[in-house]
């Protein structure tokens, strides 16, 4: 995975390397992570992977939102970065889901006000409005944009 996540703030261990894996941590936090090539098919593949994990974890009520926000962030990475895109999900013990999308571009994403006729520019607004909190963190070799969703039943 590329970049450094903001997992430390949430008390979650940093991801290791690897292209696709799911595992349960000793501390009890379920995690899933993937690395996708920077090509247009990555968006569809990321959506499918996130939906599958949400189903496996019994989080169907939050699946559509998680899939939508991951799709927006992976699309942003594809538009602005040229390297691999990492996606990581961590089921938090506080009825929350942490999702991180990393890429090798160190520049933080910029929130902007999209005009009514603009075809883009709403992804970060969507993340900000739909998640309980979100942020970005610059790493040694890129950045990570993260968000948390409530998944309480």
- The per-residue pLDDT for range 8-49, each reduced to its tens digit, is 444 443 443 334 444 444 345 699 999 999 998 999 999 999
Average pLDDT score over residue span 128-133 = 94
What mean pLDDT do residues 82-93 have?
94
36-82 pLDDT per residue, tens: 999 989 999 999 999 999 999 999 999 999 999 999 999 999 998 88
Q: What angle do CA 91, 14, 76 make, to 5 degrees?
A: 80
pLDDT at 7 over 80: no
Token pair of 99 as six digits: 């999702």
As a whole number of angstroms, the distance between CA 133 and CA 97 comes to: 11
E strands along 39-95, which residues?
85-92
Per-residue model confidence as pLDDT tens digits over 93-119: 879 999 999 999 998 887 777 667 766
- Dihedral of alpha carbons 112, 113, 115, 119, sign: positive
DSSP 8-class letter at 52 = H
């Amino acid at each position: 995975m590329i970049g450094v996540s903001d997992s430390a703030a949430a008390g979650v261990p940093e991801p290791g390397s690897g292209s696709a894996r799911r595992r349960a941590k000793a501390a009890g936090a379920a995690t899933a992570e993937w690395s996708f090539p920077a090509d247009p098919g990555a968006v569809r593949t990321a959506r499918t992977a996130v939906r599958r994990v949400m189903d496996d974890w019994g989080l169907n009520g939050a699946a559509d939102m998680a899939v939508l926000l991951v799709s927006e962030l992976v699309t942003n990475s594809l538009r602005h970065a040229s390297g691999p895109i990492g996606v990581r999900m961590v089921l938090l013990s506080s009825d929350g889901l942490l999702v991180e999308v990393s890429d090798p571009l160190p520049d933080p994403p910029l929130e902007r006000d999209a005009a009514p006729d603009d075809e883009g520019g709403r992804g970060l607004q969507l993340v900000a409005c739909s998640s309980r909190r979100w942020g970005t963190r610059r790493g040694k070799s890129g950045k990570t944009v993260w968000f948390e969703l409530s998944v309480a039943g």
